[in-house]
Amino acid sequence: MSKKRFSGLRLILMVPVVVLLAGGLIIGGRALQEPGEVRTLKKQEVAQTDEGHREYYFGLLNENEQRGYREILEGIRSFEDKFYLSLSGDNEIDRVYHAVLKDHPELFWVHNREKVYKTTYSGRDYCQFSPGYTYTEEQRQEITQAMENAYQEVLSQIPDGADDYTKVMTVYTYVIDNTEYVISDDDQSIAGAFWKKQAVCAGYAGAVQYLLERLDIPCIYVEGDAANSTQGHAWNIVELNGQYYYVDATNGDQPDFLEGDATLLAEHKTTIYDYLCPFPQEYEENYTASDEFPVPACTATDMNFYVRNGACFDTYDWSSVYDLCRLRIDSDAAVVRFKFGSQGAYDEAYMDLIDSNHIQDIAKYYMEVHGLSQISYHYGVIDNMKTLYFMF
């Protein structure tokens, strides 16, 4: 059986913005006055918070951009086909609109490939903005109900008194278990993840953000580039105990994890936790955030799944690995997984366990514990994360 490598590349689609240019408006030899709606907008106080949303990207905008952000948010929430903004610069409007979408995954009706139009006026510091909407009112109600159902299901899976890490892990697992990676008409938003249960990375990341925000856990939607690919990717950054960690549910959903027909066996279905708070340096070898907005630096490793479970080894030592495997098997686990902190340790482990077939000693122990005379076992690797999986 050969190693299986995963690039983890996923598709994300940026919403196109079409600019309609209008010349200076002259009536009766005099320039047209600024519309009353615009004058009213400029006088309104800009709310600095929005209940239930952290709005990380809002906090990165200047005062004028924040005003435009609130104007876009209100117009979209009101389903207005066209409304004024007290902004006029093309780059400025694009930046603000992107900030709104990144902060508000619940605005699913503007996330799916619809064009966005803005009409700017020569010499004017305002414009008209026309977001493209998706879904009928009936569909919006269905999707909203699906979102609520998902949240209630997650709540039911979180133990009483659970810490924030457990909540993040529950959401990560829930999104993976209930979403299929499929390119479709709804794949760019949480509508795909919760309604159709099919999405690409934008839908996965939006779903994680939506659920964690409702659980009052700071979560940021991030998009950027994938190494050795022309496709983009989307993921999340969460805050736990004052530290930031990557969370990538899309890459945690890899059904073709094992070789051959092993993936068809129900007992071998397992969640890949390598992308739940992964080591930052390993994750950043494959993914780089867009430079449109800065994002918090992820440096901590103590919430990494393997670190928390005592399954991360700085060096390879057969007895330590064997002790871990026995502990898991004694606990009736059918999956044993562990990672290494360096490439050298990982390569040494692979050579000894796989190439030299030392894994058979672990399989024999499994047979002894369960009183079996024979056993079929499989292994899987995620070598960019330096992890090994044994499945019995």
Q: Which of 99, 130, 161 is the last residue of a domain?
A: 130
Domain contains 201? no
pLDDT of residue 8: 41
Judge whether residue 155 has pLDDT over 90: yes
Domain contains 198? no
Greater pLDDT, 374 or 29: 374
Domain contains 351? yes
Q: Any idea which of 34-38, 134-138, 317-321, 365-369 has the lowest mean pLDDT? A: 34-38
Sheet containing 312-313: give its strands across.
Answer: 312-313, 335-340, 387-391, 378-382
* Integer Cα distance of 147 and 142 in angstroms: 9
As a three-state string, the secondary structure of the chain is CCCCCCCCCCCCCCCCEEEEEECCCEECCEECCCCHHHHHHHHCCCCCCECCECCCCHHHCCHHHHHHHHHHHHHHHCCCCCEEECCCCHHHHHHHHHHHHHHCCCCHHHCCCCCEEEEEECCCCCEEEECCCCCCHHHHHHHHHHHHHHHHHHHHHCCCCCCHHHHHHHHHHHHHHHCEECCCCCCCCHHHHHHHCEECHHHHHHHHHHHHHHCCCCEEEEEEEECCCCCEEEEEEEEECCEEEEECHHHHCCCCCCCHHHHHCHHHCCCCHHHECCCHHHHHCCEEECCCCCCCCCCCCCCCHHHHCCCEECCCCHHHHHHHHHHHHHCCCCEEEEEECCHHHHHHHHHHHHHCCCHHHHHHHHHHHHCCCCCCCEEEEECCCCEEEEEC
Judge whether residue 186 has pLDDT over 90: no
Q: Which of 76, 103, 130 is the last residue of a domain?
A: 130
Among 37, 205, 18, 22, residue whose Cα is nearest residue 94? 18
The boundaries of the domain holding residue 318 are 310-392
pLDDT tens figures, 243-272: 999 999 999 987 555 444 444 444 446 788
Question: What percent of the chain shows pLDDT beyond 90?
Answer: 69
pTM of this structure: 0.89
Question: Vertex 121, ends 115 and 124: CA angle to 5°?
Answer: 125
pLDDT of residue 289: 97
Domain contains 109? yes
Q: How many domains does the chain have?
A: 2
pLDDT of residue 2: 33
Domain contains 177? no
Judge whether residue 12 has pLDDT over 70: no
Domain contains 318? yes
pLDDT tens figures, 201-241: 999 999 999 999 999 999 999 999 998 888 899 999 999 99
pLDDT tens figures, 102-112: 999 999 999 76
Q: Which of 66, 99, 130 is the last residue of a domain?
A: 130
